[in-house]
Amino acid sequence: MNIQRWIARRESNWQRLDVLLRQVEKKGLKSLRAAEIRELASLYRSVTADLARARTQQVGNTLIQNLQFLTTRAYTQIYQGSRRQEWQAVVEFYCWGFPKLVQQTWTYIAAATALFLVGALIAWWYAWQDPTFMSLIIPERIIKIVRDDHKLWMGSIVGVEPLASTSIMINNLSVSFGAVAGGIIAGTYTAYMMVLNGLLIGAIGTLVAQNNLAYPFWAFVFPHGSLELPAIFFAGGSGFLLARALLFPGKYRRLDALKFYGSLGVQLVFGIVPMLILAGMMEGFFSPNPGFPESLKYLVGMGLFVLLVAYCRRQRPIPNP
């Protein structure tokens, strides 16, 4: 191989890659047009091949080092730059995308919330009318602890917080994913999950009220429930989005409706994962901890809920012209 002729033929590519990299390093990958991005990727592959040939032909340490530096810069911008963009997209979603999505799908979330409240009211009514109703929903062990010992059962978490917190997170995620997946069967399982959770909360709330344990019980529920319950409602809304696509595709073909509404549902699930993780940590480490006064737990729970509502109402500011 004639080294000088090969260098003369390839040098324009190296210079062009250097120009593009300087622009990306100054202004970011978004400053390039689509054609320039494709050119950057093509030149990177080409220069990588040139580096391999230069090493094989032993054309000189200076040239090899220059090509090595050029390929390293290109690799950093193409691959690590794309990772930065991915992280920027995640931050963008949680800052603005998720609140906008909640506002866009609020009717489905409201339907899930309404079913939960209906279940809670039914349980509250029947539990006061017929004490045997509770045994149909609440485990007998819990009923005995509350009625016979006049105590709450959450103290078993204290001392095993990391294990309990992990278990709670997994359970919350499984309940939420079950509510989402229930949309595939026309939303029937999603509706069942919402009503069932409402029945459980309503029955337990009545049980603790009848035994004068309502205040400490709700002090336990408020901190993590302010995030956990809305997350479950969001998951229910996601399931109803899938059901909508199956039952009422509207102007879309059913497959296209599934893609559209399914995409919205997946984004809702993506948004609630941090909520469920934080709720699991709160339920494992903060809610059952007797070292924190109950008044503080109420304040934390209400504060988190107010922040969640304010977050979900966020709207991207319109830039000045």
Q: Tens-digit pLDDT profile for the chain (321 aa)? A: 677 787 788 888 888 888 888 888 787 777 778 788 888 888 888 888 888 888 887 777 777 788 888 888 888 777 765 555 566 777 888 888 899 999 999 999 999 999 999 999 999 998 888 878 888 888 888 888 888 888 887 755 554 445 445 555 666 677 777 888 888 888 899 999 999 999 989 999 999 999 999 999 999 999 999 999 999 999 999 999 999 988 888 777 888 888 888 888 888 888 898 998 888 888 878 888 888 999 999 999 999 999 999 999 988 776 554
- Residue 95 located in a structural domain: no
24, 163: one domain: no
- Both 189 and 283 in one domain: the answer is yes
Q: Does 83 map to a domain?
A: yes
308: in domain: yes
Question: Do 162 and 21 share a structural domain?
Answer: no
Q: Are the CB atoms for 220 and 297 separated by under 8 Å?
A: yes
C-alpha separations of 279 from 95, 140, 210, 219, 224 in Å: 19, 26, 27, 14, 5
Do residues 234 and 113 touch, judged by C-beta distance below 8 A? Answer: no
In a domain, 62, yes or no: yes
Q: 134 and 264: one domain? A: yes
Three-class SS of residue 229?
A: helix
* Domain that residue 284 falls in: 105-312
Residues 239 and 306 in one domain: yes
Examine the domain organization and report whether 181 and 299 are in the same domain: yes
Contacts of 312 (CB under 8 A, 6+ apart): 99, 102, 103
Please check whether residues 168 and 308 belong to one and the same domain: yes
Contacts of 193 (CB under 8 A, 6+ apart): 175, 178, 179, 182, 236, 239
**10 and 155 assigned to the same domain:** no
Does some domain include residue 170? yes
Residues 83, 201, single domain; the answer is no
Whether residue 109 sits in one domain with residue 57 = no
Instruction: Scan for tokens 């090899």, then name that residue.
Output: 64
Residue 318 lies in a domain: no
d(C-alpha 226, C-alpha 306), whole Å: 9
User: Tell me, what amino acid is at 27?
Assistant: K
Q: How many domains does the chain have?
A: 2
Task: Tell me whether residue 16 is in a domain.
Answer: yes
CA–CA distance, 168 with 284 (Å, rounded to integer)? 7
Give just the sign of the alpha carbon dihedral 189, 192, 194, 197: negative
Please give the Cα distance from 273 to 173 (Å, whole number). 7
pTM for the model stands at 0.71
Q: Is the domain of 17 the same as that of 80?
A: yes
Query: Is the same domain home to 50 and 120?
Result: no
In a domain, 100, yes or no: no
Domain finish residue from 53, 88, 123:
88
Contact of 127 with 202, CB cutoff 8 Å: yes
